[in-house]
Amino acid sequence: MSFELPKLPYAYDALEPHIDARTMEIHHSKHHQAYTTNLNAAIAGTDLEGKTIEEILKVCKDKPAVRNNGGGFWNHNLFWEVMAPNAGGQPTGELATAIDTAFGSFDAFKEEFAKAGATRFGSGWAWLCVEEGKLVVCSTANQDNPLMGEGCTGTAILAMDVWEHAYYLNYQNRRPDYINAFFNVINWAVVAEKFVAAK
């Protein structure tokens, strides 16, 4: 049983104008597809074949092809899930309270998360994770993620791709503008479900 590229629950143009249709199409059908294909190739015939992606990510540190493509596969799965059209705004309920507790306010969280993305030099991701019931922000290089023991040690509930391919067609060198726009497409209802499941 090999891994498959997940279908998006929305159209490529659904996140316009924040994320443009062409970026979404290439990002999903080319980049994410390549990670999926290359992950399957990297584990074929090894003892990792048949394992879940979570199991694979815990033991892939010394296997660059599995690490890079397994990370790429898992990270993009989460990324598509935590975005939606007509989304953004602020979380409510338990997650809102937890954000206030951890960061002081939603604006303070936004600032810290944006900084994590803006200061990640080169390619990588910014994360919101649950560590022993508490929320933390971190970032990782390339396609690494917290399941590998990189960045935060907790469970990731929000992921923001800051590889240039995530924003270059629309924003070019202006990564901070992309990050600002990303807040307009965060699906807080899904992030809140992940928070409840993780804490």
Partner 1 sequence: MKKLTILLALFITNIVSAQTFTLPSLSYAYNALEPTIDSVTMRIHHSKHHQAYVTNLNKALGATNTKSLAEILAGVSSQPAVVRNNAGGHYNHTLFWEILSPTPIKTPSAELLSQITKQYTSLDSLQKMITVSGTGLFGSGWVWLIVTPTNELKITTTVNQDNPLMDLVTDKGTPILAIDVWEHAYYLKYQNKRADYLKNIWKVIDWKAVSEKYTATLKK
What's the closest the beta carbon of residue 35 comes to partner 1, in angstroms? 11
What's the closest the beta carbon of residue 116 comes to partner 1, in angstroms? 15
Where does residue 129 rank: exposed (0-12), middle (13-18), buried (19+ CB within 10 A)? Answer: buried
Q: Which residues bind partner 1 (CB under 8 A)?
A: 26, 30-31, 34, 64, 68, 121-124, 141-143, 163-165, 168-169, 172-173
161 neighbors 79 (Cβ within 8 angstroms): yes
What's the closest the beta carbon of residue 171 comes to partner 1, in angstroms? 11
Please, which residue, 140 or 187, has the CB nearer to partner 1? Answer: 140
SS3 135: strand
Please, which residue, 7 or 121, has the CB nearer to partner 1? Answer: 121
Distances (CA, A) of 62 to 9, 13, 46: 34, 38, 14
What's the closest the beta carbon of residue 20 comes to partner 1, in angstroms? 13
Farthest CA pair distance, the chain: 49
Alpha carbon 11 to chain centroid distance? 19
Please, which residue, 31 or 51, has the CB nearer to partner 1? Answer: 31
Reference 155, options 48, 35, 58; nearest CA is 58
Eight-state DSSP code of residue 125: E
Q: Residue 124: in which H helix or E strand, if any?
A: strand 124-131
Strand positions, DSSP E, the chain: 124-131, 134-141, 155-161
Please, which residue, 45 or 122, has the CB nearer to partner 1? Answer: 122
Please, which residue, 14 or 26, has the CB nearer to partner 1? Answer: 26
